[in-house]
Chains A and B, each alone.
Chain A
Amino acid sequence: MRGTLVITRKELRQLFSSPIAYVALAMFFVVNGFLFYALVGGYTLQVLQLQGTPPPDFNPTRIIFTPLYQDMTFVLMLLVPVLTMRLVSEEDRARTMELVVTSPVTNSAILLRKYLDVILLFGVLLVISAIMPLSLALIGRLDWGLLGATYTGLVLLGAAFLAIGLFASTLNENQIVSAAIGFALLLMFYVVGFAQQAAGTGGQQILSALSISAHFSNLASGIVDTTDALYFLSLAGFFLFLGIVALEARKWR
C-alpha cells in the first residue's frame, strides 16, 4: 500500500501538470452544477403547483437526484477517458515504461497500482459531488437510502469505466487515441441497450444485460441487486485482465 500511495503522488503530480485535467474536472463540476440547478428549479415549480398537498409517494430525492445522477453517468463517459488516457500511454511515449517494466514488479501489479490511483482520484470526485445533496440536506429531509444506493452504483460504474479506460491506455502511446478508444468502448456499452426494440425477445435480454444504463438505473432507483453489482465488477475485472494481457504481450511483439 505504501508503494501505491507513493505512485499516487507522482501520478497526481503528472495529471495536474497538464491543463487537460483541470479542463476535464471543470467540465464535470460545471455540467453537474448546471443540471443540479435546473433540477432544483423544476422541483420548486412542481411544489408550487401542488400547493402544499403532496401525494403520499412524493419523494424530492427521486425528483431531483435520480435524473441528476443518470445524467452524471453520461458526463462520466466523457470524463473517464480523459482521466485514464495518460496512465500507460504517457509512460510509453516518455519511454518510462521501460524503467517500470524492468523493475521487480509484475505487470498485474503495475496495472493494478495505476487502477487504484485513478480510483482514488475518482473517489475524490464523488466526495466533492456529494456537496449537492448535502447542501439540500441543510434545508430539508432527504431519502438517504436512495442516495446510498445511487452512490454505490456510481462507485461500481466508475470502477468499470476506469478499467475500460485503463485498458484503452495500454493499446497506444498517443493519449488522444487512447481517450478515443476508451470513449468508443464506453459508448458501445452505453448504447447497446438502445437497440433492444430492434432485437427479438432473446436478443433483448442479452442486450439489456450488457447495457451499462440498464444496470445503473436499477441502482439509481434504489434497488441494490447483486446482479448489477456483479455486472460492473465483472466488467472491471475483464478489462483489467485484458490490460494485463496487453502489457504481457508487448514482450513478444
Chain B
Amino acid sequence: MILADALSRRYGDRLAIRDVSFKARPGEILGFLGPNGAGKTTTMRILTGFLAPTAGRAAVADFDVVRQPLEAKRRLGYLPETLPLYDDLTAREYLGFVARLKGVDGRKIGDAIDRAMTLCGITDVADRLVRNLSRGYRQRVGLAQAIVHDPPVLILDEPTSAMDPRQIVEIRNVIKGLRGSHTIILSTHILPEATAVCDRVIVINEGRVVAVDTYEQLAARLRRSEKTLVRVARPDGRLTGRLAALRGAVHVTPGEGTGEVVVEAGLGADLREEIARTVVEAGAGLLELRPLAMSLEDVFLRLVTHEEAAEEPRA
C-alpha cells in the first residue's frame, strides 16, 4: 500500500536519508520511530510528494509519487509536522476548503466535514476561528484535515505532539479506530506511542533504517539475557553471593530501589524458581519477584547506540 524503495535525499552536501526501504501492508499502522533529525520528516515528505527523492522510488496505493503524483495524492491524507492551518477561517470553513482542495464531490462535502469533525471530536468548536483554538484542538483540526476526504492512506507526522495526556489517549483511539480501513504511517519520537498504537515499528537513525519489525520481535532480537528482579525486606551481601552461585546465573547487580537485586541469566533460562527458594532459605524476606522485560526505550537506545558504535571506526 505504501512503498519506499531505496530512497535517498540530499540537501546540498548533506545526505538526510540514505537507502530507506520499507513497505506498509494494507490496513496496518506502521510506526516511524527515531530521534529528532533522523530523517522521519524527510521520508514522509517524499512519500507525500512534497519533496522529490534524490534516488529511489516511492509509491502510494501503487501509484509512483513522482510519475503519477495526482493519483497518489488523491489517495493520501497528510498531517505535516507543522500544522497547516488557516487562522482566519473557522474549523468548519477550513475543513470545507480542504475537502474541495482534495477533490471531494460538492454535494458530499457537508457530510465529509461532519464525519471528520465527529471522529476527531471537534464538533463543539466547529464555528470558532482556528486562531482562537487551544493547541490540542488545533492538532485535532489538523488530523480532521487529513481524513476529511477519507483517503485509504494516511501519513501523520507527530500526530500527538503538544497534547495533554488525556488528549493523546483520545487521538490514539481515533487512529486505532482507522486501523483496518486505512493504511497509516505515523512518526513519533515518543516511544510508548509506538507500542500503544502501531502494528510494526521502523526505527530510523541518522537517515538509515536500523530495524523494521513488531515491537515484541525487536525486543526479543535484542535481548541478550533474561533478567529477573528480586526485592527483599532484609538485603545483605551474602544473599547476593548465593544468588550469583546459582547454576545459570551470569550477573547479579543491585537494582535501583532499596532491597532490589537484578539477576541476569543466559537467554532462555528461567531461574525464578531457584531464586525464590534461595531467598526464602536465606531468610531475607521475599517481597517481589518478576521478569524484567525490555522496554521500548531500551530497544530503541540499543539499536541507535549500536548503530553509532558501528559508525565510529570509519569516521
Chain B 72-97, CB-CB to A under 8 Å as 1, else 0, gives 01101010101111111100010011
A98 close to chain B: CB less than 8 A: yes
Question: From residue A184, how far is it (CB to closest CB) to chain B in Å?
Answer: 27
Of B50, B73, B100, the residue contacting A6 (CB under 8 A) is: B100
Given contacts A101-B50, A102-B76, A103-B73, contact A94 B97 (CB under 8 A): no
A10-18, A168-176, A219-227, A232-240: which one contacts chain B?
Answer: A10-18
Given contacts A98-B50, A101-B50, contact A3 B86 (CB under 8 A): no
- Inter-chain contacts of A10 with B (CB < 8 A): 86, 89, 93, 97
Given contacts A99-B78, A103-B73, A104-B74, contact A251 B52 (CB under 8 A): yes
Distance, CA A16 to CA B101, complexed state (A):
22
- Inter-chain contacts of B100 with A (CB < 8 A): 2-3, 6
A206 close to chain B: CB less than 8 A: no
- Inter-chain contacts of A106 with B (CB < 8 A): 70
Closest to A98 in B: B80
- Chain A CB count within 10 A is highest, among B45, B86, B89, B102, for B86
Q: Are A17 and B88 in contact (CB under 8 A)?
A: yes
Give residues 178-196 of A contacting B (CB, 8 Å). Answer: none
Q: Are A98 and B101 in contact (CB under 8 A)?
A: no
Given contacts A6-B97, A10-B89, A102-B49, contact A96 B102 (CB under 8 A): no
Q: Are A102 and B52 in contact (CB under 8 A)?
A: no
Question: From residue B113, how far is it (CB to closest CB) to chain A in Å?
Answer: 13
- Inter-chain contacts of A101 with B (CB < 8 A): 49-50
Q: Are A102 and B78 in contact (CB under 8 A)?
A: yes
- Inter-chain contacts of A58 with B (CB < 8 A): none
Q: Are A104 and B70 in contact (CB under 8 A)?
A: yes
Question: From residue A125, how far is it (CB to closest CB) to chain B in Å?
Answer: 21
Give residues 72-120 of A contacting B (CB, 8 Å). Answer: 94-106
Question: From residue A71, how far is it (CB to closest CB) to chain B in Å?
Answer: 34
B183 close to chain A: CB less than 8 A: no
Give residues 223-253 of A contacting B (CB, 8 Å). Answer: 251-253
- Inter-chain contacts of B126 with A (CB < 8 A): none
- Inter-chain contacts of B73 with A (CB < 8 A): 102-104
Q: Are B83 and A95 in contact (CB under 8 A)?
A: yes
Size category of the binding interface on chain A: 20 to 34
Q: Are B86 and A94 in contact (CB under 8 A)?
A: yes
- Inter-chain contacts of A7 with B (CB < 8 A): 97
Question: From residue B18, how far is it (CB to closest CB) to chain A in Å?
Answer: 17
Distance, CA A102 to CA B74, complexed state (A):
9
Q: Are A105 and B89 in contact (CB under 8 A)?
A: no
- Chain B CB count within 10 A is highest, among A3, A10, A13, for A10
- Inter-chain contacts of A251 with B (CB < 8 A): 49-52
Distance, CA A102 to CA B157, complexed state (A):
14
Distance, CA A17 to CA B89, complexed state (A):
10
- Inter-chain contacts of A99 with B (CB < 8 A): 78, 80, 84, 98, 101, 145
Distance, CA A103 to CA B49, complexed state (A):
9
Q: Are A105 and B88 in contact (CB under 8 A)?
A: no
- Chain B CB count within 10 A is highest, among A10, A97, A99, A252, for A99
B165 close to chain A: CB less than 8 A: no
- Inter-chain contacts of A2 with B (CB < 8 A): 100, 106
Q: Are A104 and B102 in contact (CB under 8 A)?
A: yes
Chain B 137-152, CB-CB to A under 8 Å as 1, else 0, gives 0000000010000000
B43 close to chain A: CB less than 8 A: no
Distance, CA A24 to CA B145, complexed state (A):
33
Question: From residue B285, how far is it (CB to closest CB) to chain A in Å?
Answer: 59
Q: List 29 A-B contacts (CB under 8 A).
A: A3-B100, A6-B96, A6-B97, A6-B100, A7-B97, A10-B89, A10-B97, A14-B86, A17-B88, A94-B86, A95-B83, A96-B85, A98-B45, A99-B78, A99-B80, A100-B84, A100-B101, A102-B48, A102-B50, A102-B76, A102-B80, A103-B98, A103-B101, A103-B103, A104-B73, A104-B102, A106-B70, A251-B50, A251-B52
Residues on A facing B (Cβ under 8 Å): 2-3, 6-7, 10, 13-14, 17, 94-106, 251-253
Known A99-B84, A104-B71; further 11 A-B contacts with Cβ < 8 A: A6-B96, A6-B97, A14-B86, A95-B83, A95-B84, A98-B84, A99-B80, A99-B101, A102-B50, A104-B73, A252-B52
